[in-house]
Amino acid sequence: MHSPRRGVLRWAILSRWLLILISAISNFIIPDHNATDVFIQPAEDEDEFLNGLHFFDNLVKALLGGLVRWDAQYFLLITKHGYIFENSLAFFPLFPLLTRWLSYFLSYFLYNILTESSIVLLSATIINFAAFLKAADVLYSLSVFVLHDANLAYIAALLFCFNPASVFFSAPYTESLFCLLTFSGMYETLTSNWDVSSSILFGLSSGTRSNGVLNVGFILFKRVKLFVTVLWPGTICPKLESNPLVSLRAVLMWMFSVIVLCMVILIPFLSFQIFSYLMYCTPQDIELTPKLMNYAVDHGLILPSLGGKKIRVKTHWCHSTLPLPYSYVQSHYWNVGFLKYFSISQIPNFLLALPIAYLILRYGIEFFNQHKSMCLRLGLTRKTASKAEGTFRMPANTFVFVVHSVVLTIFCFLCIHVQVTTRMLLSASPVPYWVGAYLIYEGFVSARKAKDKGIRAGGVTSYNVPVAVCTEWKYVNSLEDFIEYFTFMKTQLTCHGKLLILYFASYFVIGTILFSNFLPWT
Protein backbone atom coordinates (compact mmCIF):
# COMPACT_ATOMS: atom_id res chain seq x y z
CA MET A 1 0.00 0.00 0.00
CA HIS A 2 1.40 3.38 -1.01
CA SER A 3 1.33 6.38 1.27
CA PRO A 4 -1.51 8.87 0.75
CA ARG A 5 0.99 11.62 -0.05
CA ARG A 6 2.38 9.55 -2.90
CA GLY A 7 -1.15 8.87 -4.10
CA VAL A 8 -1.88 12.61 -4.16
CA LEU A 9 1.26 13.20 -6.23
CA ARG A 10 0.29 10.53 -8.74
CA TRP A 11 -3.20 11.90 -9.21
CA ALA A 12 -1.88 15.44 -9.52
CA ILE A 13 0.44 14.34 -12.34
CA LEU A 14 -2.34 12.37 -14.03
CA SER A 15 -4.75 15.28 -13.86
CA ARG A 16 -2.25 17.65 -15.52
CA TRP A 17 -1.50 15.26 -18.39
CA LEU A 18 -5.21 14.53 -18.83
CA LEU A 19 -5.97 18.23 -19.00
CA ILE A 20 -3.23 18.88 -21.58
CA LEU A 21 -4.55 15.95 -23.64
CA ILE A 22 -8.14 17.26 -23.54
CA SER A 23 -6.90 20.74 -24.45
CA ALA A 24 -4.80 19.51 -27.37
CA ILE A 25 -7.54 17.28 -28.81
CA SER A 26 -10.29 19.89 -28.50
CA ASN A 27 -8.05 22.60 -29.93
CA PHE A 28 -7.28 20.34 -32.91
CA ILE A 29 -10.88 19.27 -33.57
CA ILE A 30 -12.86 22.42 -32.77
CA PRO A 31 -12.18 25.68 -34.64
CA ASP A 32 -11.21 28.58 -32.41
CA HIS A 33 -13.96 31.04 -31.62
CA ASN A 34 -13.37 34.48 -33.09
CA ALA A 35 -13.67 36.39 -29.83
CA THR A 36 -14.12 40.12 -30.28
CA ASP A 37 -12.44 42.82 -28.20
CA VAL A 38 -9.95 40.30 -26.84
CA PHE A 39 -6.30 41.17 -26.43
CA ILE A 40 -3.97 39.16 -28.68
CA GLN A 41 -0.24 39.70 -28.29
CA PRO A 42 1.66 40.86 -31.40
CA ALA A 43 2.46 37.96 -33.70
CA GLU A 44 6.08 36.87 -33.90
CA ASP A 45 8.01 37.04 -37.17
CA GLU A 46 7.66 33.95 -39.33
CA ASP A 47 11.41 33.86 -39.92
CA GLU A 48 12.20 33.83 -36.21
CA PHE A 49 13.91 30.46 -36.62
CA LEU A 50 15.29 29.12 -39.89
CA ASN A 51 12.73 31.17 -41.83
CA GLY A 52 9.92 29.08 -40.45
CA LEU A 53 8.65 26.98 -37.55
CA HIS A 54 10.61 23.90 -36.63
CA PHE A 55 9.06 20.46 -36.07
CA PHE A 56 9.42 20.85 -32.30
CA ASP A 57 7.76 24.25 -32.41
CA ASN A 58 4.78 22.65 -34.12
CA LEU A 59 4.79 19.96 -31.46
CA VAL A 60 4.77 22.51 -28.62
CA LYS A 61 2.02 24.46 -30.37
CA ALA A 62 -0.05 21.30 -30.87
CA LEU A 63 0.23 20.23 -27.23
CA LEU A 64 0.12 23.58 -25.45
CA GLY A 65 -1.31 26.03 -27.97
CA GLY A 66 -4.82 25.61 -26.56
CA LEU A 67 -3.63 26.97 -23.22
CA VAL A 68 -2.54 30.32 -24.69
CA ARG A 69 -5.94 31.93 -24.38
CA TRP A 70 -7.48 34.99 -22.73
CA ASP A 71 -5.21 36.45 -20.01
CA ALA A 72 -2.42 34.02 -20.92
CA GLN A 73 -1.75 36.36 -23.84
CA TYR A 74 -0.86 39.13 -21.38
CA PHE A 75 1.42 36.98 -19.25
CA LEU A 76 3.41 35.74 -22.23
CA LEU A 77 3.72 39.28 -23.61
CA ILE A 78 4.97 40.56 -20.24
CA THR A 79 7.44 37.69 -20.05
CA LYS A 80 8.94 38.53 -23.43
CA HIS A 81 8.70 42.32 -23.54
CA GLY A 82 7.84 43.60 -20.07
CA TYR A 83 5.05 46.05 -19.21
CA ILE A 84 5.06 47.87 -22.55
CA PHE A 85 1.28 48.43 -22.66
CA GLU A 86 -0.67 50.12 -19.89
CA ASN A 87 -3.43 47.50 -19.77
CA SER A 88 -0.83 44.88 -18.79
CA LEU A 89 -0.40 46.57 -15.39
CA ALA A 90 -3.37 44.54 -14.13
CA PHE A 91 -1.11 41.47 -14.05
CA PHE A 92 1.47 41.15 -11.33
CA PRO A 93 5.15 40.39 -12.05
CA LEU A 94 6.31 37.35 -10.07
CA PHE A 95 5.01 34.69 -12.47
CA PRO A 96 6.31 36.45 -15.62
CA LEU A 97 9.67 36.98 -13.91
CA LEU A 98 10.02 33.30 -13.01
CA THR A 99 8.97 32.33 -16.52
CA ARG A 100 11.54 34.67 -18.05
CA TRP A 101 14.34 33.37 -15.84
CA LEU A 102 13.50 29.75 -16.65
CA SER A 103 13.25 30.54 -20.37
CA TYR A 104 16.72 32.12 -20.23
CA PHE A 105 18.04 28.92 -18.68
CA LEU A 106 16.28 26.63 -21.17
CA SER A 107 17.38 28.72 -24.12
CA TYR A 108 20.99 27.61 -23.51
CA PHE A 109 19.92 24.06 -24.35
CA LEU A 110 17.03 24.65 -26.76
CA TYR A 111 18.09 27.78 -28.68
CA ASN A 112 18.67 25.80 -31.90
CA ILE A 113 15.58 23.63 -31.44
CA LEU A 114 12.76 25.95 -30.35
CA THR A 115 11.87 29.57 -30.99
CA GLU A 116 11.69 32.09 -28.17
CA SER A 117 7.89 31.92 -28.07
CA SER A 118 7.91 28.14 -27.70
CA ILE A 119 10.56 28.28 -24.98
CA VAL A 120 8.57 30.87 -23.05
CA LEU A 121 5.37 28.82 -23.34
CA LEU A 122 7.20 25.67 -22.30
CA SER A 123 8.76 27.49 -19.32
CA ALA A 124 5.38 28.77 -18.13
CA THR A 125 3.92 25.26 -18.40
CA ILE A 126 6.81 23.71 -16.45
CA ILE A 127 6.49 26.28 -13.66
CA ASN A 128 2.76 25.72 -13.34
CA PHE A 129 3.17 21.95 -13.51
CA ALA A 130 5.72 21.93 -10.68
CA ALA A 131 3.79 24.51 -8.63
CA PHE A 132 0.57 22.51 -8.99
CA LEU A 133 2.18 19.28 -7.77
CA LYS A 134 3.70 21.02 -4.77
CA ALA A 135 0.45 22.86 -4.03
CA ALA A 136 -1.42 19.54 -3.91
CA ASP A 137 1.16 18.19 -1.46
CA VAL A 138 0.98 21.31 0.72
CA LEU A 139 -2.82 21.20 0.72
CA TYR A 140 -2.68 17.62 1.96
CA SER A 141 -0.32 18.60 4.79
CA LEU A 142 -2.43 21.64 5.67
CA SER A 143 -5.61 19.56 5.66
CA VAL A 144 -4.14 16.87 7.91
CA PHE A 145 -3.00 19.53 10.37
CA VAL A 146 -6.33 21.38 10.43
CA LEU A 147 -8.90 18.61 10.00
CA HIS A 148 -7.05 15.97 12.06
CA ASP A 149 -8.01 13.26 9.58
CA ALA A 150 -5.79 11.84 6.84
CA ASN A 151 -8.75 10.43 4.91
CA LEU A 152 -10.48 13.80 4.67
CA ALA A 153 -7.18 15.42 3.73
CA TYR A 154 -6.64 12.85 0.99
CA ILE A 155 -10.08 13.44 -0.54
CA ALA A 156 -9.59 17.22 -0.34
CA ALA A 157 -6.27 16.88 -2.22
CA LEU A 158 -7.90 14.69 -4.89
CA LEU A 159 -10.63 17.29 -5.36
CA PHE A 160 -7.90 19.88 -5.80
CA CYS A 161 -6.31 17.78 -8.55
CA PHE A 162 -9.55 17.86 -10.55
CA ASN A 163 -10.94 21.19 -9.39
CA PRO A 164 -13.42 23.13 -11.57
CA ALA A 165 -10.83 25.80 -12.46
CA SER A 166 -8.16 23.27 -13.44
CA VAL A 167 -7.41 24.71 -16.86
CA PHE A 168 -6.22 27.96 -15.26
CA PHE A 169 -3.78 26.00 -13.11
CA SER A 170 -2.02 24.68 -16.23
CA ALA A 171 -2.38 27.59 -18.66
CA PRO A 172 0.10 30.49 -18.41
CA TYR A 173 -1.86 32.01 -15.51
CA THR A 174 -0.86 32.74 -11.92
CA GLU A 175 -3.28 30.33 -10.23
CA SER A 176 -0.86 27.47 -9.52
CA LEU A 177 1.95 29.69 -8.23
CA PHE A 178 -0.42 31.81 -6.15
CA CYS A 179 -2.09 28.71 -4.72
CA LEU A 180 1.26 27.20 -3.75
CA LEU A 181 2.45 30.38 -2.03
CA THR A 182 -0.87 30.95 -0.26
CA PHE A 183 -1.31 27.39 1.01
CA SER A 184 2.34 27.27 2.08
CA GLY A 185 1.92 30.55 3.95
CA MET A 186 -1.18 29.22 5.70
CA TYR A 187 0.64 26.07 6.73
CA GLU A 188 3.62 28.03 8.02
CA THR A 189 1.29 30.32 9.98
CA LEU A 190 -0.12 27.32 11.81
CA THR A 191 3.15 25.50 12.40
CA SER A 192 5.72 28.30 12.83
CA ASN A 193 6.15 30.41 15.96
CA TRP A 194 7.91 33.42 14.42
CA ASP A 195 5.69 34.00 11.35
CA VAL A 196 8.61 35.33 9.32
CA SER A 197 8.48 32.50 6.79
CA SER A 198 4.70 32.75 6.44
CA SER A 199 4.91 36.53 5.92
CA ILE A 200 7.52 36.07 3.19
CA LEU A 201 5.35 33.48 1.45
CA PHE A 202 2.28 35.71 1.72
CA GLY A 203 4.39 38.62 0.46
CA LEU A 204 5.37 36.61 -2.61
CA SER A 205 1.69 35.80 -3.14
CA SER A 206 0.87 39.54 -3.16
CA GLY A 207 3.53 39.90 -5.85
CA THR A 208 1.70 37.23 -7.85
CA ARG A 209 -1.93 38.34 -7.56
CA SER A 210 -3.52 41.43 -6.07
CA ASN A 211 -5.78 39.47 -3.72
CA GLY A 212 -2.63 38.19 -2.03
CA VAL A 213 -2.77 41.28 0.19
CA LEU A 214 -5.84 39.72 1.88
CA ASN A 215 -3.54 37.06 3.31
CA VAL A 216 -2.41 39.69 5.80
CA GLY A 217 -5.56 38.68 7.69
CA PHE A 218 -4.03 35.33 8.67
CA ILE A 219 -1.05 37.05 10.29
CA LEU A 220 -3.23 39.68 11.97
CA PHE A 221 -5.60 37.04 13.34
CA LYS A 222 -2.75 34.99 14.79
CA ARG A 223 -1.00 37.99 16.34
CA VAL A 224 -4.21 39.48 17.78
CA LYS A 225 -5.14 36.10 19.22
CA LEU A 226 -1.68 35.93 20.76
CA PHE A 227 -2.27 39.35 22.33
CA VAL A 228 -5.68 38.41 23.71
CA THR A 229 -4.63 35.05 25.12
CA VAL A 230 -1.14 35.96 26.35
CA LEU A 231 -0.65 39.71 26.80
CA TRP A 232 -4.14 40.83 27.80
CA PRO A 233 -4.39 41.78 31.51
CA GLY A 234 -5.52 38.84 33.56
CA THR A 235 -3.87 36.28 31.29
CA ILE A 236 -0.24 37.41 31.38
CA CYS A 237 2.17 36.23 34.03
CA PRO A 238 2.18 38.02 37.42
CA LYS A 239 5.58 39.55 36.69
CA LEU A 240 4.21 41.46 33.73
CA GLU A 241 1.08 42.48 35.59
CA SER A 242 3.11 43.83 38.51
CA ASN A 243 5.67 45.65 36.36
CA PRO A 244 4.04 48.19 33.99
CA LEU A 245 7.33 48.89 32.19
CA VAL A 246 7.85 45.25 31.34
CA SER A 247 4.22 44.96 30.26
CA LEU A 248 4.51 48.09 28.10
CA ARG A 249 7.66 46.75 26.49
CA ALA A 250 5.91 43.46 25.66
CA VAL A 251 2.99 45.33 24.06
CA LEU A 252 5.32 47.58 22.03
CA MET A 253 7.28 44.56 20.81
CA TRP A 254 4.01 42.94 19.83
CA MET A 255 2.94 46.04 17.87
CA PHE A 256 6.32 46.26 16.16
CA SER A 257 6.19 42.61 15.10
CA VAL A 258 2.68 43.06 13.68
CA ILE A 259 3.71 46.11 11.64
CA VAL A 260 6.86 44.45 10.29
CA LEU A 261 5.11 41.21 9.35
CA CYS A 262 2.27 43.05 7.62
CA MET A 263 4.68 45.27 5.72
CA VAL A 264 6.54 42.22 4.45
CA ILE A 265 3.26 41.08 2.91
CA LEU A 266 2.29 44.47 1.48
CA ILE A 267 5.68 45.60 0.12
CA PRO A 268 5.57 43.53 -3.13
CA PHE A 269 2.15 44.98 -3.99
CA LEU A 270 3.22 48.53 -3.19
CA SER A 271 6.53 48.10 -5.00
CA PHE A 272 4.73 47.12 -8.20
CA GLN A 273 2.52 50.21 -7.94
CA ILE A 274 5.61 52.40 -7.58
CA PHE A 275 7.26 50.66 -10.52
CA SER A 276 4.16 51.26 -12.63
CA TYR A 277 4.08 54.94 -11.68
CA LEU A 278 7.73 55.44 -12.57
CA MET A 279 7.32 53.66 -15.88
CA TYR A 280 4.20 55.45 -17.07
CA CYS A 281 4.38 58.81 -15.31
CA THR A 282 8.08 59.70 -15.62
CA PRO A 283 10.30 59.74 -18.74
CA GLN A 284 11.92 56.38 -19.40
CA ASP A 285 14.61 55.30 -21.84
CA ILE A 286 12.77 52.34 -23.33
CA GLU A 287 13.45 51.05 -26.80
CA LEU A 288 10.50 49.49 -28.56
CA THR A 289 10.65 47.81 -31.93
CA PRO A 290 8.73 49.46 -34.79
CA LYS A 291 6.47 46.43 -34.84
CA LEU A 292 5.42 46.93 -31.20
CA MET A 293 5.02 50.68 -31.72
CA ASN A 294 2.79 50.11 -34.73
CA TYR A 295 0.79 47.48 -32.87
CA ALA A 296 0.15 49.94 -30.02
CA VAL A 297 -0.95 52.65 -32.44
CA ASP A 298 -3.21 50.31 -34.41
CA HIS A 299 -4.94 49.05 -31.26
CA GLY A 300 -5.02 52.32 -29.33
CA LEU A 301 -2.78 51.03 -26.53
CA ILE A 302 -1.04 53.33 -24.07
CA LEU A 303 2.77 53.12 -24.02
CA PRO A 304 5.22 54.13 -21.26
CA SER A 305 6.70 57.62 -21.18
CA LEU A 306 9.50 57.19 -23.73
CA GLY A 307 12.00 59.79 -22.59
CA GLY A 308 12.36 62.57 -25.14
CA LYS A 309 10.17 60.66 -27.61
CA LYS A 310 6.94 61.00 -25.68
CA ILE A 311 4.10 60.33 -28.07
CA ARG A 312 1.25 61.17 -25.69
CA VAL A 313 0.34 62.99 -22.52
CA LYS A 314 0.51 61.26 -19.17
CA THR A 315 -2.28 58.81 -18.41
CA HIS A 316 -5.06 60.01 -16.11
CA TRP A 317 -4.07 58.19 -12.96
CA CYS A 318 -0.65 59.88 -12.92
CA HIS A 319 -2.35 63.07 -11.71
CA SER A 320 -4.32 61.44 -8.90
CA THR A 321 -3.62 62.36 -5.29
CA LEU A 322 -2.88 58.71 -4.61
CA PRO A 323 -1.97 57.20 -7.98
CA LEU A 324 -2.85 53.50 -7.94
CA PRO A 325 -2.42 52.17 -11.47
CA TYR A 326 -3.92 48.79 -10.59
CA SER A 327 -7.27 50.30 -9.57
CA TYR A 328 -7.33 52.57 -12.61
CA VAL A 329 -6.47 49.84 -15.11
CA GLN A 330 -9.06 47.45 -13.67
CA SER A 331 -11.75 50.12 -13.79
CA HIS A 332 -10.81 51.64 -17.16
CA TYR A 333 -10.07 48.53 -19.19
CA TRP A 334 -12.25 45.91 -17.49
CA ASN A 335 -15.02 48.02 -15.94
CA VAL A 336 -14.30 46.52 -12.51
CA GLY A 337 -16.07 48.22 -9.62
CA PHE A 338 -18.79 47.96 -7.01
CA LEU A 339 -21.98 46.53 -8.60
CA LYS A 340 -20.75 47.43 -12.10
CA TYR A 341 -21.30 43.85 -13.26
CA PHE A 342 -24.93 43.71 -12.15
CA SER A 343 -26.85 43.59 -15.42
CA ILE A 344 -29.23 41.19 -17.14
CA SER A 345 -26.65 40.31 -19.79
CA GLN A 346 -24.31 38.99 -17.09
CA ILE A 347 -26.79 36.48 -15.63
CA PRO A 348 -25.02 33.52 -17.36
CA ASN A 349 -21.75 34.51 -15.70
CA PHE A 350 -23.45 34.69 -12.30
CA LEU A 351 -24.88 31.21 -12.89
CA LEU A 352 -21.41 30.01 -13.85
CA ALA A 353 -20.02 31.18 -10.51
CA LEU A 354 -23.06 30.15 -8.46
CA PRO A 355 -21.94 26.59 -7.48
CA ILE A 356 -18.70 27.63 -5.80
CA ALA A 357 -20.37 30.62 -4.15
CA TYR A 358 -23.22 28.45 -2.87
CA LEU A 359 -20.75 25.87 -1.58
CA ILE A 360 -18.85 28.42 0.50
CA LEU A 361 -21.69 30.67 1.66
CA ARG A 362 -24.00 27.85 2.70
CA TYR A 363 -21.39 26.18 4.82
CA GLY A 364 -20.14 29.51 6.08
CA ILE A 365 -23.60 30.02 7.53
CA GLU A 366 -23.65 26.48 8.92
CA PHE A 367 -20.21 27.02 10.45
CA PHE A 368 -21.52 30.16 12.17
CA ASN A 369 -24.54 28.30 13.54
CA GLN A 370 -22.38 25.49 14.90
CA HIS A 371 -19.71 27.77 16.38
CA LYS A 372 -21.83 30.82 17.13
CA SER A 373 -20.27 31.69 20.47
CA MET A 374 -16.76 31.56 19.07
CA CYS A 375 -17.71 33.50 15.93
CA LEU A 376 -19.30 36.28 17.99
CA ARG A 377 -15.97 36.57 19.80
CA LEU A 378 -14.20 36.73 16.40
CA GLY A 379 -12.47 33.47 17.12
CA LEU A 380 -10.42 35.04 19.91
CA THR A 381 -11.11 32.41 22.54
CA ARG A 382 -9.18 29.52 23.95
CA LYS A 383 -12.06 27.08 24.13
CA THR A 384 -13.68 25.88 20.93
CA ALA A 385 -16.77 24.19 22.31
CA SER A 386 -19.58 24.07 19.78
CA LYS A 387 -22.85 22.40 18.94
CA ALA A 388 -22.75 18.84 17.72
CA GLU A 389 -25.83 18.91 15.50
CA GLY A 390 -25.57 18.17 11.82
CA THR A 391 -23.42 15.81 9.83
CA PHE A 392 -21.22 18.61 8.58
CA ARG A 393 -18.94 19.92 11.33
CA MET A 394 -15.87 21.76 10.17
CA PRO A 395 -13.51 22.14 13.15
CA ALA A 396 -13.59 25.42 15.04
CA ASN A 397 -9.92 26.05 14.26
CA THR A 398 -10.91 26.72 10.64
CA PHE A 399 -12.56 30.00 11.67
CA VAL A 400 -10.08 32.31 9.93
CA PHE A 401 -10.14 30.15 6.78
CA VAL A 402 -13.93 30.25 6.60
CA VAL A 403 -14.04 34.02 7.15
CA HIS A 404 -11.41 34.56 4.47
CA SER A 405 -13.31 32.45 1.92
CA VAL A 406 -16.69 34.06 2.71
CA VAL A 407 -15.30 37.61 2.48
CA LEU A 408 -13.56 36.79 -0.79
CA THR A 409 -16.77 35.28 -2.20
CA ILE A 410 -18.85 38.33 -1.35
CA PHE A 411 -16.17 40.61 -2.79
CA CYS A 412 -16.11 38.63 -6.03
CA PHE A 413 -19.88 38.85 -6.48
CA LEU A 414 -20.06 42.57 -5.74
CA CYS A 415 -16.89 44.08 -7.16
CA ILE A 416 -15.25 42.08 -9.96
CA HIS A 417 -16.11 40.06 -13.06
CA VAL A 418 -18.13 37.37 -11.38
CA GLN A 419 -17.01 34.57 -13.72
CA VAL A 420 -13.53 34.89 -12.18
CA THR A 421 -14.97 33.81 -8.81
CA THR A 422 -14.42 30.09 -9.37
CA ARG A 423 -10.71 30.25 -10.15
CA MET A 424 -10.03 32.98 -7.61
CA LEU A 425 -11.57 31.05 -4.71
CA LEU A 426 -10.13 27.69 -5.70
CA SER A 427 -6.63 29.14 -5.88
CA ALA A 428 -6.90 31.22 -2.71
CA SER A 429 -8.71 29.08 -0.15
CA PRO A 430 -8.64 25.45 0.99
CA VAL A 431 -12.20 25.71 2.28
CA PRO A 432 -13.94 24.55 -0.96
CA TYR A 433 -11.85 21.38 -0.93
CA TRP A 434 -12.53 20.78 2.76
CA VAL A 435 -16.26 21.27 2.30
CA GLY A 436 -16.19 18.97 -0.70
CA ALA A 437 -14.32 16.32 1.28
CA TYR A 438 -16.95 16.47 4.03
CA LEU A 439 -19.78 16.18 1.52
CA ILE A 440 -18.21 13.14 -0.13
CA TYR A 441 -17.47 11.59 3.24
CA GLU A 442 -20.93 12.33 4.61
CA GLY A 443 -22.14 8.83 3.79
CA PHE A 444 -19.20 7.35 5.67
CA VAL A 445 -19.90 9.63 8.62
CA SER A 446 -23.54 8.57 8.79
CA ALA A 447 -22.60 4.92 8.66
CA ARG A 448 -19.98 5.40 11.35
CA LYS A 449 -22.36 7.33 13.61
CA ALA A 450 -24.97 4.65 13.22
CA LYS A 451 -22.46 2.10 14.53
CA ASP A 452 -20.62 3.77 17.38
CA LYS A 453 -21.87 7.41 17.46
CA GLY A 454 -18.54 8.74 16.26
CA ILE A 455 -15.14 9.16 17.82
CA ARG A 456 -14.00 12.22 19.69
CA ALA A 457 -10.42 13.42 19.26
CA GLY A 458 -9.27 16.66 20.86
CA GLY A 459 -12.73 18.19 20.81
CA VAL A 460 -13.09 17.54 17.08
CA THR A 461 -15.05 14.62 15.65
CA SER A 462 -12.68 12.31 13.79
CA TYR A 463 -14.47 11.23 10.64
CA ASN A 464 -12.77 7.92 9.95
CA VAL A 465 -13.72 5.21 7.51
CA PRO A 466 -16.45 2.97 8.94
CA VAL A 467 -15.14 -0.10 10.72
CA ALA A 468 -16.92 -2.37 8.28
CA VAL A 469 -14.86 -1.09 5.35
CA CYS A 470 -11.51 -0.48 7.02
CA THR A 471 -10.18 -3.71 5.58
CA GLU A 472 -11.33 -2.71 2.08
CA TRP A 473 -10.03 0.86 2.13
CA LYS A 474 -6.99 1.73 0.08
CA TYR A 475 -5.64 4.96 -1.31
CA VAL A 476 -6.22 5.39 -5.02
CA ASN A 477 -2.93 4.77 -6.78
CA SER A 478 -3.93 2.91 -9.94
CA LEU A 479 -6.77 2.50 -12.40
CA GLU A 480 -7.89 -0.67 -10.62
CA ASP A 481 -7.97 1.21 -7.32
CA PHE A 482 -9.99 3.96 -8.95
CA ILE A 483 -12.60 1.54 -10.34
CA GLU A 484 -12.90 -0.22 -6.98
CA TYR A 485 -13.07 3.09 -5.15
CA PHE A 486 -15.66 4.51 -7.55
CA THR A 487 -17.87 1.43 -7.21
CA PHE A 488 -17.64 1.59 -3.43
CA MET A 489 -18.29 5.34 -3.27
CA LYS A 490 -21.31 5.02 -5.55
CA THR A 491 -23.17 3.16 -2.83
CA GLN A 492 -22.09 5.52 -0.03
CA LEU A 493 -22.33 8.99 -1.57
CA THR A 494 -25.22 11.23 -0.62
CA CYS A 495 -27.03 13.32 -3.20
CA HIS A 496 -24.88 16.34 -2.28
CA GLY A 497 -21.72 14.30 -2.71
CA LYS A 498 -22.77 13.11 -6.16
CA LEU A 499 -23.67 16.63 -7.26
CA LEU A 500 -20.29 17.87 -6.04
CA ILE A 501 -18.39 15.27 -8.06
CA LEU A 502 -20.54 16.06 -11.10
CA TYR A 503 -19.74 19.76 -10.66
CA PHE A 504 -15.99 19.17 -10.39
CA ALA A 505 -15.84 16.69 -13.28
CA SER A 506 -18.02 18.68 -15.70
CA TYR A 507 -16.19 21.97 -15.10
CA PHE A 508 -12.85 20.18 -15.43
CA VAL A 509 -13.70 18.80 -18.89
CA ILE A 510 -16.07 21.42 -20.32
CA GLY A 511 -14.01 24.32 -18.99
CA THR A 512 -10.86 22.95 -20.60
CA ILE A 513 -12.60 22.51 -23.95
CA LEU A 514 -14.17 25.97 -23.93
CA PHE A 515 -11.01 27.72 -22.77
CA SER A 516 -8.83 25.98 -25.36
CA ASN A 517 -10.99 27.28 -28.20
CA PHE A 518 -11.33 30.90 -27.05
CA LEU A 519 -14.90 30.32 -25.93
CA PRO A 520 -16.17 32.19 -22.83
CA TRP A 521 -14.48 30.59 -19.83
CA THR A 522 -12.40 33.16 -18.00
17-53 confidence digits (pLDDT tens): 999 999 999 999 998 888 777 888 887 654 444 444 5
CB 305 within 8 A of CB 282: yes
Q: DSSP H helical segments within 227-346, as ranges?
A: 238-242, 244-281, 290-299, 325-334
Q: Average pLDDT, whole number, for the chain?
A: 83
**Residue 288 — pLDDT band, cuts 50, 70, 90?**
confident
pLDDT greater than 50 at residue 8: yes
What gap in Å lies between CA 64 and CA 516, rounded to an integer? Answer: 9
Least confident stretch, 137-146, 234-243, 341-350, 371-380: 234-243
Helix (H) / strand (E) containing 460: strand 460-461
Q: Which residue has the higher pLDDT, 198 or 239?
A: 198
The amino acid sitting at 510 is I
CB 100 within 8 A of CB 115: no
- Closest by alpha carbon to 136, among 160, 164, 170? 160
Over its C-alpha atoms, the chain yields an Rg (Å, rounded) of 25
pLDDT greater than 50 at residue 460: no
**Angle of helix 116-147 versus helix 55-64 axis, rounded to 10:** 40
pLDDT for 133 equals 97
Supply angle C-alpha 253, 259, 265, rounded to 5: 135
**Residue 247 — pLDDT band, cuts 50, 70, 90?**
low
CB 306 within 8 A of CB 286: yes
